[in-house]
Amino acid sequence: MKVGIITFHRAVNYGAVLQAYALCSTIKELGLDCEVIDYRCDFIEDYYDSKKLIYPRNWKRLISYVIYNGNLFPDKERFASFLKEHNVLSEKPYHQNELNELESSYDCFVAGSDQVWNFATAGFDKTYFLDFVSDSKKKKSYAASFGFSEIPENLKEKYRYLLSSFSVLSVREQAGKQIIESLLDRNVNVDLDPTLLVSTSNWRKLSEESNIDVQVSERGYILVYMIGEDKRVLQISKTLGNLKDLDIIYITDRWKNRKEVKNIRGVKVNDWIRLIDRAEYVITNSFHGTAFSVIMNKKFVVVTNKEGQKKSSRIETLLNDMNLVDRFTYSEKEALSILNREVDYLSVNRLLEKRKMQSIDNLRQGFAIEE
């Protein structure tokens, strides 16, 4: 059986690339021929095209990057090269007008994981709902995410129509399951993000390809990784660094250096895994920063952006599954208290292994593979 994955593999984001690699690798381990279809979504390609920032419709984005100290020229190649080097991508790239030729080339298609069903992230591109596939038996999802907890009223019928043709529905968080069940009378699996299906030892093998050399004290370092910059996270890291006499490594592509931390730019995918693995502590607001902290058995804390803000469903689902929901906070004082508490990784790893087996079994059943 040949399987084609449709996902956000072209996003300039560590999590997007790693989940694509992980899902493809896991399906291959089930004995199937699998690759990520190198689909070039116009919306995503335009978003990361620095030349198009000068277009009038992108002026707001340009201004926001300048005001909020963003990176105007994201290095797409450092992310794209990871998938190329590990033989994950289809040989040919595809644009929307070429997708109809794919159905005869694959026995099955999988949408996911990542926020492929978020209408805002890819311009509501129906490709991520496998609309180019006519045979519903070939259409499956795995750990797909909406990125929100409620569908806007004016889009409910469109979502109902697009999702109804899938033969297997799998999402990444409880909110996604609730969304689909409110639209369809269907069974929906809540499965682990693909990165959590890959063993720690296999991730460490990939990190050995890294040649990053960051000079830190013998006592080690605190790693800070954020989606969007939150100065409170940096302040928490500085306070902890002073208390523990540890250096602080801040993974960033922003143009302005932050004081009292080591600003590390241009971090490759393998480097990113290695930096998490070797950290004494991880402070993050990212789902995949959280996931890899769990995979690598780190002391970590997840910091929400605003007091009283609703927690990310995908992070909350993961932490609930691992009995780690107490690692989530807004408060700087509470964050320091959390980081001083040990994590019972003997228990966490047992829970992770149980959920991993359930998710892999759901994948196997979805492909009708006999054990």
Report the candidate in 195, 210, 357, 342 with the shortest Cα–Cα distance to residue 269: 210
- Flag whether 14 is in a domain: yes
* Spatial CA neighbour of 8 closest among 98, 154, 120, 92: 120
Which pair of structure tokens corresponds to residue 102? 């794919």
Coil, strand or helix at 174: helix
Q: Domain of 160?
A: 2-198+353-366
- Do residue 189 and residue 253 come from a single domain? no
Domain contains 371: no
CATH number at residue 230: 3.40.50.2000
Residue 106 and residue 4 in contact, taking contact as beta carbons nearer than 8 Å: yes
Q: Are residues 95 and 186 in the same domain?
A: yes
Q: Count CA atoms closer than 13 A to 223's CA, side-chain side.
A: 26
Which residues of the chain carry a pLDDT beneath 70?
50-74, 306-311, 370-371
Same domain, 255 and 145: no
What mean pLDDT, rounded, does the chain reach? 91
Instruction: Find the Cα–Cα–Cα–Cα dihedral 227, 232, 233, 234, rounded to 10°.
Output: 110
Give CA–CA dist 20/15, Å, rounded: 8
**Is residue 152 in some structural domain?**
yes
Residue with tokens 């780190």: 298
DSSP lists the bridge partners of residue 189 as 170
CA dihedral sign of residues 81, 86, 88, 93: positive
How far apart, in whole angstroms, are the C-alpha atoms of residue 142 and residue 366? 9
- Helix, strand, coil distribution of the chain in percent, nearest 5: 45, 15, 40
Q: Based on the fold, state whether residues 9 and 56 are members of the same structural domain.
A: yes
Helices (H), the chain: 14-29, 42-47, 59-67, 76-85, 156-164, 174-183, 200-207, 231-244, 269-278, 287-295, 313-321, 332-339, 345-366
**Are residues 243 and 128 located together in one domain of the fold?**
no
- β-bridge partners, 141: 111
Residue 265 lies in a domain: yes
The reply to whether 206 falls in a domain is no
Q: What is the CATH number of the domain that holds 10?
A: 3.40.50
Rounded CA separation 219/135 (Å)? 57
Place of tokens 């806007």: 152
By C-alpha distance, which of 326, 320, 274, 318 is closest to 300? 326
Chain centre distance of CA 279: 20
CB atoms within 10 A of CB 245: 10
Query: CA of 264: how far to CAs of 10, 74, 104, 227, 328, in Å?
Result: 22, 14, 45, 15, 25
Count of the separate structural domains present in the chain: 2
What pTM was computed for the model?
A: 0.93
Per-residue model confidence (pLDDT) at position 68: 47
Neighbour-count burial of 220, counting CB atoms closer than 10 A to its CB (0-12 exposed, 13-18 middle, 19+ buried): middle
Same domain assignment for residues 36 and 150: yes
- Tokens 């996003």 appear where? 11
252 domain residue, yes or no: yes
pLDDT of residue 4: 98
Give the contacts of 136 (CB within 8 A, at least 6 positions apart).
165, 166, 167
Asked if 236 and 334 count as a contact pair (C-beta separation under 8 A), the reply is no
Residues 187 and 267 in one domain: no
Backbone angles phi, psi at 314, to 5 degrees: -70, -40
Is residue 119 included in any domain, yes or no?
yes
Is 207 among the domain residues?
A: no
What residues form DSSP beta bridges with 233?
none
